[in-house]
Amino acid sequence: MSRPRRSAKHTVTPLAGLREAAAAAALPLEIYDTTLRDGAQAEDVSFSAEDKVMVAQKLDGLGVHYIEGGWPGANPKDIEFFRMIKAIPLHHAKIVAFGSTRKASNPVEKDSNLQALLAAETDTITLFGKSWNLQVTEALGISLSKNLEIISDSLAYLKSKGRCLFYDAEHFFDGYKADPDYALETVRRAVQAGAERVILCDTNGGTMPWEIRDICKAVQREFSLALGIHAHNDTDMAVANSLVAIQQGVRQVQGTINGIGERCGNANLCSILPNLELKMKRGGIGGDRLSRLREVSAFVNEIANLMPNKHQPYVGDAAFAHKGGVHIHAVLKNPVTYEHIAPELVGNRQRMLMSDHSGRSALHRKIEAYGIRLTKRNPKLQELLDTLKELENQGYQFEGAEGSLELLARKAMGRHKPSFELLGFRVIVEKRQADEAPISEATIMVRVGGAVEHTAAVGTGPVNALDHALRKALEKFYPQLSEVKLLDYKVRVLAANTGTASRVRVLIESGDHKEKWGTVGVSENIMEASWQALADSIEFKLLQDKRKNLGGD
Ligand SMILES: [Zn+2]
């Protein structure tokens, strides 16, 4: 028998007496993130196992309590994730494996899905089963009593293996509306078999907030264990439905970062978390971790290669942006006039679109953080602000490219000494036969101090070849560059209507054994855009090392 190796850090609290709503309201909420499972089921989203590990670490930093890592029984990639995450220390979150109750034809010991769940070696498993009679008879094509049997023995089996069990009652609200007795009976079976939470799922996302309220109440009259809510957004009600459920005393709330998920998505944790903490005073992730929300939202967009929604509540670029003259005038006097919260609480910032007044102070703060001291009236600050605006117009984006931003700021302030100078590069891609893979080769010439270095390298693609050639040329002078790894490379086409002549933005994430940093390049030529981001990445690494050696700027 396999045993969970991860030690229990966030232990499940004992059954809460939810009949006493007041007592329930005092208990801490559980934030359960399913970005890596339900979120990964969104159209256009695909996470590699490595992507998932990076997202899990971000979510842990945000302070969520549970991270549903994937469905090991349905996805080989997810098995890899569960293997990799065991080696990563997490501070707040517990990793959860997700899967379905056994197939009707399989005994539990022979059910590959249940076996894959055990093999994931998590302390906690979320198992889903059917609550809606129509789903049982039509989708599964089995009898209602057989379904109850499946729920009972699947959960009992996993319980006998020492796991903490959460039961996702799929389509619960639709099931309750169709046949309340049967829907409640499925929950009863799960509770009897040892589920520690029952999560009521609005799987089709069609339930209204008042129905959620009434049905949550009805379930609480029957059971004393802590409930959860899992809402989909097909009627744009997922956040509202989750909050209403919490108001009714539900303890666990499930959702995804930016609300990504099947069809119209899941309940958006980027709205739920600030609503819980700032509007309902119910805590959630605690501490001042809410200020990381915008960063986590941007990170998930980048990793998922999704265009950020500028107008997303709380975390969008425009969430605290003011354009109208009257608004700007008033906000400058008192931000409360047009802002429902202080943007910093969620890591966002105020933006004045018609005036650069606030932009300047935000930039000033940033530059001071780099260790460069200057007054707010210094004309160089305005020059840099103008440059940034111009670059943003061209398609540069510095949200995920702090490395490039710092280099740019240092250059503008006259505080940057380049570590190398490019004298030229050439990249050749050759395909000799139709059925042969192309070969990429790059040659590069750089100057470091008085020395000129000329090298060539091959790679799995042209950018990879250029990356190799650049490092090969520089490692002689800066051996620490061998520590640098290119963690991620992303290309986004900025103006899709000009076909292959479109401008592209390249975002590169690099890291060494201590830190990670992002850099950016924009051009009509993908190699030029890649070069800008690569060169910045290397330059930033050398800058960081210099800074460490000097003990600050
Ligand atoms: Zn779902």
CA 418 to centroid of ligand 1, rounded, Å: 50
CA 255 to centroid of ligand 1, rounded, Å: 9
pLDDT of 356 > 50? The answer is no
pLDDT digits (tens, 9 = 90+) for 440-459: 999 999 999 999 999 999 99
- The DSSP secondary-structure symbol of 35 reads T
Average of per-residue pLDDT across 430-437: 93
CA 294 to centroid of ligand 1, rounded, Å: 23
pLDDT digits (tens, 9 = 90+) for 239-269: 999 999 999 999 999 999 999 999 999 999 9
Which pLDDT value is given to residue 11? 40
- pLDDT band for 20, please (50, 70, 90 cuts): very low
CA 231 to centroid of ligand 1, rounded, Å: 7
pLDDT of 19 > 50? The answer is no
CA 265 to centroid of ligand 1, rounded, Å: 8
pLDDT of 33 > 90? The answer is yes
Report the alpha-carbon distance of residue 150 to residue 455 in Å, rounded.
64
Contact at 8 Å (CB) between 85 and 56?
yes
pLDDT of 300 > 60? The answer is yes
pLDDT of 496 > 90? The answer is no
pLDDT digits (tens, 9 = 90+) for 113-163: 999 999 999 999 999 999 999 999 999 999 999 999 999 999 999 999 999
Which pLDDT value is given to residue 479? 96
CA 40 to centroid of ligand 1, rounded, Å: 11
CA 203 to centroid of ligand 1, rounded, Å: 6
One-character DSSP codes across 169-200 = EETHHHHHHH-HHHHHHHHHHHHHTT-SEEEE
Region for 61 from its dihedrals, namely left if φ exceeds 0, alpha if ψ lies in -120 to 50, beta otherwise: alpha
CA 8 to centroid of ligand 1, rounded, Å: 25
Report the alpha-carbon distance of residue 472 to residue 459 in Å, rounded.
12
pLDDT digits (tens, 9 = 90+) for 316-328: 988 998 866 677 7
Which pLDDT value is given to residue 38? 97
Task: Tell me which residues have their CB within 5 A of the ion that is ligand 1.
Answer: 38
% of the chain surpassing 70 pLDDT = 91
pTM of the complete model: 0.67
Nearest-5° Cα angle at 488, 320 to 445 = 115
CA 205 to centroid of ligand 1, rounded, Å: 9
Which pLDDT value is given to residue 69? 98
One-character DSSP codes across 76-103 = HHHHHHHHHHTTS--SS-EEEEEEEPPP
Report the alpha-carbon distance of residue 312 to residue 315 in Å, rounded.
6
pLDDT of 553 > 60? The answer is no
Report the alpha-carbon distance of residue 243 to residue 245 in Å, rounded.
5
- pLDDT band for 17, please (50, 70, 90 cuts): very low
Average of per-residue pLDDT across 360-366: 73
CA 135 to centroid of ligand 1, rounded, Å: 15
Residue where the block lists tokens 């059971």: 223
CA 266 to centroid of ligand 1, rounded, Å: 7
pLDDT digits (tens, 9 = 90+) for 79-120: 999 999 999 999 999 999 999 999 999 999 999 999 999 999
pLDDT of 27 > 80? The answer is no
- pLDDT band for 376, please (50, 70, 90 cuts): confident
- pLDDT band for 9, please (50, 70, 90 cuts): very low
The mean predicted confidence, pLDDT, of the chain is 90
Sort 434 into a burial class: Cβ within 10 Å, 0-12 / 13-18 / 19+.
Answer: exposed
Which pLDDT value is given to residue 512? 87
